Amino acid sequence: MSSFLDHFFMTNYNEYTFTILPKNPWTEITIAMIAELPFESFVENEFGFQAYIPKELDDEQAVNAIIETISDAKIQYIRQEIEQQNWNAEWEKNFEPIQVNDQCIIRADFHPTEENYPYEIIITPKMSFGTGHHETTHMMVEYILENNFLGKDILDMGCGTSILAILAMKKGANFAEAIDIDEWAVENSLENAKKNTVSIDAKLGDSSLLGRKQFDAIFANINKNILLKDIPKYSEVLARDGDLYLSGLLDIDFDDILATCTENGLKFVTKKERNNWIALHFIKK
């Protein structure tokens, strides 16, 4: 086991147990907002969710500042330090296979093989985002299933587990670059690619890593503020007639994203909606 994982398993964590009324859609919205802080895992429950953060990185004032911006829901929490344990094992216990439109199943290698799906993705469900359970990842998987990637070079920004890059490669993509700011996500992406017998180029960093290479398709499942900042760069590295797929967005974000994409030569194609979350498809003209 690597020194990085040794450090991870020995870290002391604080647990926030959030109670949210109404639970929907405010549980998902709250998770998306506090994910800007260095929380490493979220587990939904009957009343809201638990969130886990390394004790040394915890900033309760920052958590409260985010909660105070949410005026349409009643949010309460209990905060406590919890004992050291194997967090990856705890996360794996709660991971269930995901089916997308009877076309794709996303499962862990400890789940039985399913033969009735054209595409099967096997992942090690470590605590990276992008396991497919969240609406935003689910909609991005739908976009990949609906479109042709044969022979294309693709970019997966904010890759998490790299499900999107892996599925595009399974659909015949020529090359996949996957970028994330989280070291755990990059390590997990390489492991998942190997499990699925595809090759991806996983890198630690952000859009500043992008150079002159042109991509035929870009997937960016991050959040509104980062997307607004990075859309000009995506447009630069997207080939003419290339496809840009964006998610990590709420329905209220649509107008701002549309305006920024239009300013950068990107033409709106379609929008998907799922429980107040949206995914968008643009083409560079």
Copy the structure tokens of residue 216: 């035929």
Domain contains 6: no
Among candidate residues 85, 113, 129, the one where a domain is terminated = 85
Domain contains 77: yes
pLDDT, position 91: 53
Q: Decide which of 11 and 162 is more confident.
A: 162
Q: Give the CATH number for residue 17.
A: 3.30.70
Is 3's pLDDT higher than 50? Answer: no
**Does the annotation flag 221 for ligand binding?**
yes
Do 209 and 265 belong together in one domain? yes
CA atoms within 13 A on the CB side of 48: 19
Report whether 141 contacts 118 (CB < 8 A). Answer: no
Do 47 and 158 belong together in one domain? no
Q: β-pairing, 201-204 with 175-180?
A: parallel
Among candidate residues 85, 115, 137, the one where a domain is terminated = 85
pLDDT, position 7: 43
Q: Which of 15-19, 78-82, 243-247 has the lowest mean pLDDT?
A: 78-82
Domain contains 7: no
Q: How confident is the model at residue 131 (pLDDT cuts 50, 70, 90)?
A: very low
Of 39, 31, 36, which is closest to residue 13 (Cα–Cα)? 39
pLDDT, position 248: 85
Report whether 135 contacts 275 (CB < 8 A). Answer: yes
CA atoms within 13 A on the CB side of 282: 27
pLDDT, position 8: 43
Q: How confident is the model at residue 94 (pLDDT cuts 50, 70, 90)?
A: low
Do 75 and 101 belong together in one domain? no
Domain contains 2: no
pLDDT digits (tens, 9 = 90+) for 200-238: 999 999 999 999 999 999 999 988 888 999 999 999 999
Q: Give the CATH number for residue 144.
A: 3.40.50.150
Do 127 and 175 belong together in one domain? yes
Among candidate residues 41, 57, 85, the one where a domain is terminated = 85
Average pLDDT over all residues of the chain: 87
Domain contains 39: yes
Angle between helix 163-170 and helix 135-146 axes, rounded to 10 deg: 10
pLDDT, position 126: 59
pLDDT digits (tens, 9 = 90+) for 254-281: 999 999 999 999 999 999 998 778 999 9
Do 228 and 125 belong together in one domain? yes
118 DSSP 8-state letter = S
137: containing domain: 97-284
Domain contains 145: yes
Of 22, 16, 3, 14, which is closest to residue 276 (Cα–Cα)? 22
Do 66 and 158 belong together in one domain? no
Q: Decide which of 18 and 39 is more confident.
A: 18
Do 80 and 113 belong together in one domain? no
Is 25's pLDDT higher than 90? Answer: no
Domain count, the chain: 2
**Does the annotation flag 137 for ligand binding?**
yes
For 57-117, give the DSSP string. G--HHHHHHHHHT--SSEEEEEEEEE----HHHHHHHT---EEETTTEEEEETTSPP--S-
pLDDT digits (tens, 9 = 90+) for 71-88: 889 999 999 987 655 555
**pLDDT, mean of residues 126-143:** 70
Does the pTM of the predicted model rise above 0.85?
Answer: no
pLDDT, position 40: 75
Do 73 and 162 belong together in one domain? no
Classify each residue of 128-141 as buried b or exposed e, where b means 16 or more C-beta atoms within 10 Å of its C-beta. bbbbbebbbbbbbb
For 25-46, give the DSSP string. THHHHHHHHHTTSS--EEEE-S
Domain contains 254: yes
The β-bridge partners of 285 are none
**Does the annotation flag 260 for ligand binding?**
no
Domain contains 78: yes
